[in-house]
Amino acid sequence: MRKMLLATTAIAFGLSAAAPAFAEFNDRNIRVSNGINEDHPVGNGIKAMQACLDEKSGGKLKLTAFWGGALGGDLQATQALRSGVQEAVVTSSSPLVGIIPALGVFDLPFLFASPEEAYQVLDGEFGDMMSQKLEEAGLVNLGYWENGFRNLSNSVRPVTKWEDFEGMKVRVMQNDIFLDTFQNLGANATPMAFGEVFSALETNAIDAQENPYVTIDTSKFYEVQKYVTETNHAYTPFLFLFSKAIFDTYTPEEQAALRECATVGRDEERKVIQDLNKKSLEKIKEAGLEVNVLSEEEQARIREKSMVVYEKHKATIGADVVDGILAKLEEIRK
């Protein structure tokens, strides 16, 4: 009987000791807008982040994800965050350059040589500086998730050096930096809605397009292309953004849990997207396309040629931002 009483007392004490840990958490439904679909690796990241939040908050902090732009496009959702009427969004950096011009730095061509290089920059001091700029615009950046490298597919010839771009009709996003990048390499850069790309490639209205391997695979561009080159010409991160107006009303414990668990989600999402890219590349090869990788020497050569694009957009992005990221990359590459 005495043992039973001691056990009961121990359990009661344990429960009372645990209670304060969750006392600093409130029941919150956190709406997260996404432009992509749930089967994208961001979905895996959200699940990992939720599992982490369940553990830290005792199930009080709940993420409700809205996929496929159900709450509006990335820019619209981000503006809702700034107004304090929506909690969170996972968005690519590119649509937000109108709000924070400094984010244009991630559109600069041939910036990163590898995912690991990008992680070193984004997860370090430079990433913190960019997060500060986001905070000044009313947005708390909980972490840099991965959208991935963009690569070139075409129906004309293998691209092994920048001269091979000459005269090639390449579909690009409606983005000044992307337009300038391909025009500088001698290509005929052609802005076009994504939904029109397959038929334009099929009818030879354009020769080429550029997207991550996963997109080349899932959009079946391999059916209307002959060559794929791993150019790694652009790496755009996803940002997990939270409304600063709402975030500031949360307890310190809730804020810390969101930051820590967003990092857990980030690591899972990056792992899944890397694995998926490898699988997509294998499918592209199996479809019979000729695949080549730009050599390190050619990457450096193209990066040097692309410096005119950096100079052209430096004033808009911010000289401190452009010079800062180049200095960090030079340090990493030593």
Give the whole-angstrom CA distance, residue 220 versus residue 199: 11
DSSP structure string for 168-214: -EEEE-S-HHHHHHHHHTT-EEEE--GGGHHHHHHTTS-SEEEE-HH
Q: How confident is the model at residue 20, as a pLDDT?
A: 46
Alpha-carbon 228 to chain mean position: 22
Q: How far is CA 205 from CA 75, 171, 225, in A?
A: 30, 10, 13
Give the whole-angstrom CA distance, residue 54 versus residue 57: 5
Residue whose structure tokens are 């354009």: 206
DSSP H or E run through 24: none
Inter-axis angle of helices 319-333 and 125-136, nearest 10:
160
Encoded amino acid at 60, one letter: K
From first to last of its 334 residues, what are the pLDDT tens digits of the chain? 544 444 444 444 444 444 446 769 999 999 999 888 888 899 999 999 999 999 999 999 999 999 988 998 888 999 999 999 999 999 989 889 989 999 999 999 999 989 999 999 999 999 999 999 999 999 999 999 998 899 999 999 999 999 999 999 999 988 899 999 999 999 999 998 888 999 999 999 999 999 999 889 988 999 999 999 999 999 989 999 999 999 999 999 999 999 999 999 999 999 999 999 999 999 999 999 999 999 989 998 999 999 999 999 999 999 999 999 999 999 999 8
All domains in the chain, ordered by first residue: 26-146+236-277 (3.40.190.170), 151-234+280-333 (3.40.190.170)
Q: How confident is the model at residue 39, as a pLDDT?
A: 84
Q: Do residues 13 and 46 lie in contact, with contact meaning Cβ atoms separated by under 8 Å?
A: no
The phi, psi pair for 274, rounded to 5°, reads: -65, -45
